[in-house]
C-alpha cells in the first residue's frame, strides 16, 4: 500500500475537524489539519457572542477529552456555553494539544487524485489525493494525502434573502447593509428606537428575534419585524417543553411569548423578491407585492449551503436536492420531515464513490438545517475507525440523540399555508450551530 505513510488530511479546524484529528492521533494515524482561518474554530469565533442550546456534556468529543486529560484540562460539565466559552474552554486547548498537526491560514482550493482528473478511471484509487492549498500570502502548494475528511462546514456560504435561492433583486447592491449571521445585539443602543427585520424561521432567526424582543421590551419605540417565507407558523416555535434539549425548546417558547405580547410583528408568507436602498435604510418587497416599512437593520438568517467548488474533480454522490450524501439525505430532507429527524450517521452512510473521501459535520447535511455537535463527533469516530481498518467499530452506533418534541400533527406547509405533508418524524432531531440561550439567561 504505497500511500500508507501519507497523512489523512482534515479540512477545517472547527469542532468536527479537531475531533477527527484527535481520533486519528489516538489510532496512531498521521494527520494534517488545514484551516483557512488564523486560529482554530475561526467560524465559531464569529458567533462567539451567541449561547448554544447544547450543554457542555454534549459539546466535548470523547477522544478529544482523552487527549486533553494529561494536560491537566478539566472538562466543563454543566451549563450552556457561548461560542467564545466553547473555544476558550475546549476548542482552543484541543488545538494546542494537536500542535503542529494544524496548519493555519491554509485555505483548500482544490482536491483531486494525483495525475487523475475526474474523467480518468485507470489507476485512480491507487493514487493519493492531491490537496491544493492557498496560503495567506497568496502562494499555493500541494499536499498529498491517503484520505481526506472534509469538515469545512457551511459557515462561509450563507443563503441569500431571495426566496428562489438566488439573491433578491438588488440584494447584492445592498449587501453592505445586511447581516447574514446573528448580529451582536448586546450593543443595545445600536438597535434601540430603530426598525429591525429578521428573515428566516430556523433557530438562528429565533435567537435573533428573542434578543431583539428583549430590546423592544425595554424600549417600546423599537420596532421588530420577523419575516417567514412559509404561509403558516407551523412548527416555527419548536417542541417547547417536549424538546429533550430543554434550552432549544425554551427558545421557541420565549419567541412565541414575545410575538403574543406584541413586541414582535410576525409576517408570514413573505417571500422576498426585491431589496431596495432608501438612504441608509432597507426596503423589502415580497413576490406578491407587499412592502415592509423601511428597516434600519436586516438580518438574513435563512440557513447555509455547502461550498462544493473545490471538490469539482472528485466523484461524489450527492442528493440532487440537499447536496448531502445520498444515504442520509432522505432522512434530513425538510420537504419530507417537519422536524428534520435522522439516526446517527457513520462511515457507511458518508462514504463516496471516491474511496477514502468523507464529508462530515454540518457540511454532510448539505442544505438541511438540522445538526448537532454530538452527531458530528459520532460521524468522525466512525470514519476514523474505518480509515484505521477497524470496520467493526466503524459499523457500531455509539450515540443516542434527543427528541425535539415537534413530531405531532403540525406537518408541512407551502407558501400559502396549505398543508403539503404530515409530520412523519419518529427519530430525533439535531442541530449544530442553530444556537440559542437557556431560559435562565433570558
pLDDT band, very low/low/confident/very high, at 427 (cuts 50, 70, 90):
very low
Answer yes or no: same fold for 8-156+304-395 and 172-302+426-441.
yes
Q: What is the pLDDT of residue 417?
A: 38
Confidence of residue 112 (pLDDT cuts 50, 70, 90): very high
Neighbours of 125 (CB within 10 A): 11
Q: Report the distance separating Cα 301 and Cα 40, nearest Å.
A: 24
pLDDT, tens digit (0-9, with 9 covering 90-100), for 257-281: 889 899 999 999 999 999 999 999 9
pLDDT at 161 over 60: yes
Q: DSSP letter at 351?
A: B
Apex 367 CA angle, 364 and 368, nearest 5: 80
**Mean pLDDT to the nearest integer, 247-253:** 67
Q: How far is CA 1 from CA 4, 271, 314, in A?
A: 6, 54, 21
The number of helices, as runs of H, and strands, as runs of E, in the chain is: 11, 17
Mean pLDDT throughout 357-366?
96
What percent of the chain stands above pLDDT 90? 70
Kindly tell me if the per-residue pLDDT of 143 is higher than 50.
Answer: yes
Asked if the model's pLDDT at residue 434 lies above 50, the reply is no
Per-residue pLDDT, 75: 86
Residues 300 and 161: their CA atoms lie apart, in Å, by: 6
Nearest to 84 by CA among 53, 47, 113, 56: 47
Distance separating alpha carbons of residues 364 and 310, to the nearest angstrom: 15
Mean pLDDT of the chain: 86
Contact between 13 and 103 under an 8 Å Cβ cutoff? The reply is no
pLDDT of amino acid 332: 80
Alpha carbons 55 and 53: distance in angstroms, whole number: 6
Whether the predicted pLDDT of 365 surpasses 90: yes
pLDDT surpasses 80 at 340: no
Residue 215 has pLDDT above 80, yes or no: yes
- Give the pLDDT confidence of 46-104 residue by residue, as tens digits: 999 998 878 999 999 999 999 999 999 998 888 999 999 999 999 999 999 999 999 99
Model pLDDT, residue 428: 34
Q: What is the spatial distance between Cα 267 and Cα 415, in angstroms, rounded to a whole number? A: 12
Tell me, what's the pLDDT at 5? 85
6-43: pLDDT as tens digits:
999 999 999 999 999 999 999 999 999 999 999 999 99
- Overall average pLDDT of the 294-310 stretch: 96
**Between 242 and 12, residue with greater pLDDT:** 12
| Beta pairing class for 419-421 and 140-145 | unpaired
Higher pLDDT, 297 or 336: 297
Q: Which residues face 195 on adjacent strands?
A: 223
What pLDDT does residue 418 have?
37
Domain positions in the chain: 8-156+304-395, 172-302+426-441
Q: Which residue has the cell 423589502?
A: 284
Asked if residue 120 has pLDDT above 80, the reply is yes
Write out pLDDT tens, residues 367-424.
988 788 999 999 999 999 999 999 999 999 887 665 544 443 333 334 333 333 333 4
- pTM assigned to the model: 0.86
Eight-class DSSP state of 231 = S
User: Which superfamily does CATH assign the domain made up of 172-302+426-441 to?
Assistant: FAD/NAD(P)-binding domain (3.50.50.60)
Architecture of domain 8-156+304-395: 3-Layer(bba) Sandwich (3.50)
Phi (first) and psi of residue 223, to 5 degrees = -110, 135
Of 93, 314, 298, the residue nearest 208 (C-alpha): 298
- Residue 1: pLDDT over 70: no
Contact between 349 and 328 under an 8 Å Cβ cutoff? The reply is yes
Amino acid at each position: 500500500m504505497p500511500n500508507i505513510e501519507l497523512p489523512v488530511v482534515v479540512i477545517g479546524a472547527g469542532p468536527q475537524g479537531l475531533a477527527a484529528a484527535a481520533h486519528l492521533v489516538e489510532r496512531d494515524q498521521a494527520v494534517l489539519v488545514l484551516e483557512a482561518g488564523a486560529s482554530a474554530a475561526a467560524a465559531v469565533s464569529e458567533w462567539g457572542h451567541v449561547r448554544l442550546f447544547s450543554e457542555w456534556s454534549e459539546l466535548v468529543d470523547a477522544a478529544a477529552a482523552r487527549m486533553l486529560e494529561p494536560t491537566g484540562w478539566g472538562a466543563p460539565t454543566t451549563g450552556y456555553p457561548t461560542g467564545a466559552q466553547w473555544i476558550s474552554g475546549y476548542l482552543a486547548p484541543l488545538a494546542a494539544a494537536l500542535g503542529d498537526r494544524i496548519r493555519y491560514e491554509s485555505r483548500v482550493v482544490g482536491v483531486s487524485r494525483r495525475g487523475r482528473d475526474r474523467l480518468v478511471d485507470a489507476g485512480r484509487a491507487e493514487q493519493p489525493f492531491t490537496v491544493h492549498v492557498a496560503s495567506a500570502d497568496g502562494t499555493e502548494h500541494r499536499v498529498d494525502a491517503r484520505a481526506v475528511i472534509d469538515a469545512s462546514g457551511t459557515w462561509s456560504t450563507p443563503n441569500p434573502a431571495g426566496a428562489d435561492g438566488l439573491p433578491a433583486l438588488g440584494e447584492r447592491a445592498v449587501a453592505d447593509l445586511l447581516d447574514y449571521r446573528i448580529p451582536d445585539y448586546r450593543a443595545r443602543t445600536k438597535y434601540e428606537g430603530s426598525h429591525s427585520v429578521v428573515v428566516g424561521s430556523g433557530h438562528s432567526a429565533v435567537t435573533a428575534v428573542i434578543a431583539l424582543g428583549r430590546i423592544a421590551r425595554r424600549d417600546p419605540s423599537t420596532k421588530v419585524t420577523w419575516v417567514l417565507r412559509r404561509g403558516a407558523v407551523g412548527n416555527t416555535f419548536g417542541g417547547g417543553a417536549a424538546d429533550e434539549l430543554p434550552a432549544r425548546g425554551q427558545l421557541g417558547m420565549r419567541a412565541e411569548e414575545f410575538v403574543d405580547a406584541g413586541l414582535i410583528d410576525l409576517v408570514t408568507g413573505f417571500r422576498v423578491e426585491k431589496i431596495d436602498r432608501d438612504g441608509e435604510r432597507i426596503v423589502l418587497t415580497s413576490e406578491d407585492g407587499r412592502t415592509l416599512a423601511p428597516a434600519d437593520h436586516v438580518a438574513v438568517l435563512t440557513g447555509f449551503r455547502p461550498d462544493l467548488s473545490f471538490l469539482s474533480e472528485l466523484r461524489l454522490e450527492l442528493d440532487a436536492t440537499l447536496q448531502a450524501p445520498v444515504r442520509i439525505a432522505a432522512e434530513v430532507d425538510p420537504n419530507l420531515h417537519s422536524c428534520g429527524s435522522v439516526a446517527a450517521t457513520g462511515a457507511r452512510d458518508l462514504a463516496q464513490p471516491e474511496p477514502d473521501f468523507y464529508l462530515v459535520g454540518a457540511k454532510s447535511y448539505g442544505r438541511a438545517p438540522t445538526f448537532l455537535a454530538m452527531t458530528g463527533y459520532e460521524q468522525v469516530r466512525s470514519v476514523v475507525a474505518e480509515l484505521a481498518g477497524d470496520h467493526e467499530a466503524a459499523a457500531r452506533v455509539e450515540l443516542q440523540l434527543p427528541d425535539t418534541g415537534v413530531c405531532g400533527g403540525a406537518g408541512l406547509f407551502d407558501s400559502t399555508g396549505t398543508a403539503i405533508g404530515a409530520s412523519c418524524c419518529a427519530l430525533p432531531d439535531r442541530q449544530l450551530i442553530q444556537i440559542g440561550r437557556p431560559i435562565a439567561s433570558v
